[in-house]
Amino acid sequence: MEKLICAIVKNYRKMMDYWMTETKWGFKRAAIALMTPFIIGAIMMKFNETIAVKVGLLSMVIFGLLWFFMYLDSGTKFVHFISRGKYDNPRQLLQNMTHLSYIYGIIISINVEYIIFFIVCVIEIILEREVDFPNIEILFCIIFFAFSFFYFAFHLYINPKKIEISYIKQRLQLYTVLGTSVSFILLLINENGGIKIFITGILLDYLWINYFITDKENKIKKKKI
């Protein structure tokens, strides 16, 4: 798992470096990828308006994808505000294991959810047909579960600040206790809706994370022997 997480992060960084590199014309590759379909669509407008509009909409899909992949490095006043001026973008905030950064992960999950929804809507317009798509609640759960897993995996395997495993484990135990408490309350009030499913799913996510933390601890102990 450690090799897989490291490979994902490494390839993501390579991709970001590629798209943010300036070409000999002075434009970044991301800007060229965004503008090319729009320019082609404008030229084709004289010949076939329907195709031209669809090609132009393709630039919106590319915009959504770039927005999705570049979100961590995008400077936002909101991050600057909630961190009291300590951080300027989501990446800087998430590289620190704090309650604030984890709560911000929930906000990211919502933002990413609507970015994906936006991309799917544009694709439906281009294809002129409906695309099979999970409902908003399921999509949010999937995104948040993925965020939680990679959040802890990053701090466990990659974070250059080398956080103590005991600290990561303690933070995970705290969130597990909170999640279990909420689950118990929902059980008492006989709640069987989406919230209960979400809490159960996140607790399962925490159990998997705890397994990899224990595995990491065992590997460290073996090296010391």
pLDDT, tens digit, for every residue of 125-142?
777 777 676 677 777 888
Decide if pLDDT at 191 tops 70: no
**Is the Cβ–Cβ distance between 52 and 41 less than 8 Å?**
yes
42-50 CB contacts, 8 Å cutoff, 24+ apart:
none
**pLDDT mean over 147-157:** 88
On the question of pLDDT at 18 being above 80, the answer is no
Residue with tokens 């999937």: 142
The domain ranges of the chain are 2-20+70-159
Model confidence at 160, in pLDDT bands (50, 70, 90)?
A: low
Residue-level pLDDT at 54: 74
The pLDDT score that the predictor gives to residue 68 is 67
DSSP 3-state of 106: helix
Q: Residue 75: what pLDDT?
A: 61
Residues recorded for the chain: 225
Q: Is 28 helix (H, G, I), strand (E, B) or coil?
A: strand
CA 156 and chain centroid, separation: 17
- Please tell me the distance from the alpha carbon of residue 206 to that of residue 201, in angstroms, as a whole number: 9
Q: Say what the pLDDT of residue 117 is.
A: 79
Q: Which pLDDT band holds residue 182 (cuts at 50, 70, 90)?
A: confident
Q: Count Cβ atoms within 10 A of the Cβ of residue 152 and give its class: 0-12 exposed, 13-18 middle, 19 or more buried.
A: buried
Give how far the C-alpha of residue 58 lies from the chain's centroid of Cα atoms, to the nearest Å: 22
Among candidate residues 90, 85, 62, the one with its CA nearest the CA of residue 74: 90
State whether residue 160 is helix, strand or coil: coil
Answer yes or no: is pLDDT of 47 > 80: no
Contact 54, 126 (CB under 8 A): yes
61 to 18, 34, 70, 122, 128: CA distances (angstroms): 19, 9, 14, 7, 15
How far apart, in whole angstroms, are the C-alpha atoms of residue 35 and residue 134? 30
Mean pLDDT of 25-30: 73
Residues whose CB is less than 8 angstroms from the CB of residue 149 and which lie 6 or more positions away in sequence, other chains included = 205, 208, 209
pLDDT higher than threshold 70 for residue 35:
yes
pLDDT tens by residue, 70-99: 766 666 677 778 888 888 777 778 888 888
- What pTM was computed for the model? 0.76
